Amino acid sequence: MRLALLLAGFTLCAQQRDFQIEAAPKRKAILIGNNAYAKQPLANAVNDATDLSAALQRAGFTTKLLVDADLRTMDLAIRDFAQGLNPGDSALFYFSGHGMNIEGENFLLPVSFNAEMEADVRYQALSASRVRDLLRAKNVRLSILILDACRSNPFRTIRSNTGGLSGMSGAGAFIAFAADEGKTADDNPKERNGLFTKHLLRELGQPGLGLEQLFTRVRTAVYEESKGKQIPFSYSGLLGEFIFRAAPPTATYTPPPPPPKEAPKAEPKSLPSFGEKRTLDRDGQRYIYIPPGRSIIGCYPADTCQPGDLAGREVQTSTGFWIGETEVTRDAYLKVMNTVPPLRLNQHKSMAAVMQGRLPVADIHANDAATYCRRIGLRLPTEFEWEFAARAGAAQSQPPTLADFAWVAPEAAYPRAVAQKQPNLWGLFDMLGNLGEYTLSTNDQSKIVVRGGSMVQTADRVRFSRRYELPDPTVPYMNFGFRCAGAEFPGSPGASH
């Protein structure tokens, strides 16, 4: 079993994961695969390191491969490797073998390991943090550490965690594990490669995948094949976009322009029907058409108004608009933005939702949310549009049975999968609770207002008229998300892009 860390990350256990890295002045990698342990030898660690080495060479890396290495050999080889790095290089370290966690520090075990006491581990094993620091000190453009270390601890006399390695982090690094923190990975002895490596090698053969996109695909494949027993995990400090293998250029043929034709007469524009739903290919999200109509907007005295609430009034809209059926999910955000924020620890509880592609994206700032909407041909909703759609004709401050429609405290202390509660009368989910949603201010559309309350707020604060003016649109929040809106559905006649 093992864990993978990318870009200043590690993978622990006895298997390896295949990586390719974005173009850099020089690409260099060192890989270690250890099978021949006296206690509980492994089946696939050497295979994994060997296969990954070959894959990296095809990606333009110069590689050094060690198999069944003792501590002195590992230590000297890593020192020599670090010494040969230059600023601007891309560096990759891979370890496949047994590993363990002692008081929060991860250690990679040589085949010579025979410690009998916990205090001896630090002197008989290689510190993963030390490897990370050696690469970081060389000011490389990109440092990738993949630790595919055993998820079980064969040295039962040592009082360390009996599960997997602990999480690691590093600025400018992407840390990927073959299994979630403290969990074990499958060595998969009936096949040539461990479960994680098998899928990693497969995805690395696909051109054009970004770093986080690739690991999302690996995570899904491993989770499904293991029937939920193994979930690869990653921590991202990646700055900018990183592509493992560039997509090949495609030749295009531009035919000569056709002869001019008389412009056809414009046909009358047909409006969408009330509640019509369409799925947008650009992000895979579904959008609902909200027709013009009359509604109460803002807070009336009976609603226990708060400072900052808009004064209550009845309004009539003259045009309809499209708005997301749910908050934007992590999968949709990754598809459009080629990156997605790492999960916080409390969001691990929603891992099933992550694997099903249903967890709403959080920890992104309002400017990034606006960029996402622009990329798909939409925009953030105005707070007027948001409240009009959220109320769905309702006059009261919130649904009579709020718990049927919204995730709020104390029931929900972390984000939940979208569309688990009941939708409002117009088919929109989670307009209240779960994540507060970025909108454009009614008074000044250069400003951002958060609407709808969130899962960390109690029911009395989750109301249709509740609003919070965001002081800084460049600061991400773990309890804020968004959905997109627009007068025209992208791709339809008259739509802007």
- Give the residue, 153 or 468, on which the prediction is more confident: 468
Q: How many domains does the chain have?
A: 2
Q: How confident is the model at residue 298 (pLDDT cuts 50, 70, 90)?
A: confident
* Nearest alpha carbon to residue 360 among 296, 300, 288, 283: 283
Residues 219 and 117 in one domain: yes
The torsion angles phi and psi of 208, rounded to 5 degrees, stand at 85, 5
Residues 326 and 209 in one domain: no
User: Poorest-confidence range of 40-44, 255-259, 400-404?
Assistant: 255-259
Q: Is the pLDDT of residue 429 over 90?
A: yes
Average pLDDT, stretch 165-175? 60
Length of the chain: 497
Classify residue 148: in a domain, yes or no: yes
Say what percent of the chain tops pLDDT 70.
77
3-state secondary structure of 77: helix
Q: Which residue, 236, 253, 285, sits at the end of a domain?
A: 236
Cα dihedral value 21, 23, 26, 32, nearest 10: 10
Residues 152 and 210 in one domain: yes
Q: Is the pLDDT of residue 79 over 90?
A: yes
Residues 333 and 463 in one domain: yes
Mean pLDDT (the chain, rounded) = 79
**How many Cβ atoms are within 10 Å of 274's Cβ, its own excluded?**
12
Classify residue 224: in a domain, yes or no: yes
Retrieve residue 7's tokens.
Answer: 């870009």
User: Poorest-confidence range of 177-191, 326-340, 365-379, 479-493?
Assistant: 177-191
Q: Which residue, 212, 236, 260, sits at the end of a domain?
A: 236
Return d(Cα 425, Cα 403) in angstroms, integer.
16
* Nearest alpha carbon to residue 28 among 63, 80, 59, 2: 63
Return d(Cα 187, Cα 191) in angstroms, integer.
9
Domain CATH for 393: 3.90.1580.10
Classify residue 263: in a domain, yes or no: no
Cα dihedral value 400, 401, 403, 406, nearest 10: -50
Residues 347 and 231 in one domain: no
Output the CA torsion sign for 428, 429, 432, 434.
negative
Residues 294 and 418 in one domain: yes
Q: How confident is the model at residue 13 (pLDDT cuts 50, 70, 90)?
A: very low
Residue type, 204: L
- Give the residue, 75 or 147, on which the prediction is more confident: 75
Output the CA torsion sign for 443, 445, 446, 450.
positive
pTM over 0.85: no
Instruction: Give kind and range of the element (H or E) at residue 313.
Output: strand 313-316
Is there a contact between 116 and 126 (Cβ–Cβ < 8 Å)?
A: no
Classify residue 5: in a domain, yes or no: no
β-strand partners of 329? 360
Domain that holds residue 95: 27-236
Classify residue 289: in a domain, yes or no: yes
The torsion angles phi and psi of 233, rounded to 5 degrees, stand at -140, 155
Q: Is the pLDDT of residue 266 over 70?
A: no
- CB burial string 117-145: b at 16+ within 10 A, e below: eeeebeebbbebbebbebbbebebbbbbb
Cα dihedral value 206, 208, 210, 213, nearest 10: -50
DSSP 333: H
User: Poorest-confidence range of 173-187, 242-256, 416-430, 468-482?
Assistant: 242-256
Classify residue 18: in a domain, yes or no: no
Residues 322 and 230 in one domain: no
89-98 residue pLDDT tens: 888 889 888 8
The torsion angles phi and psi of 415, rounded to 5 degrees, stand at -60, 145
Domain CATH for 204: 3.40.50.1460
* Nearest alpha carbon to residue 486 among 370, 391, 333: 370
Residues 300 and 352 in one domain: yes
**How many Cβ atoms are within 10 Å of 182's Cβ, its own excluded?**
15
- CB burial string 335-370: b at 16+ within 10 A, e below: bbbebbbbbeeebeebbebbbebbbbbbbbbbebbb
Average pLDDT, stretch 429-439? 93
Residues 210 and 304 in one domain: no
Residues 232 and 300 in one domain: no
Number of Cα atoms under 13 Å in the Cβ half of residue 201: 20
pLDDT at 19: 38
Per-position DSSP letters for 154-191, written without gaps between them: S-TTS-S-SS-PPP---TT-EEEESSSTT------TTS
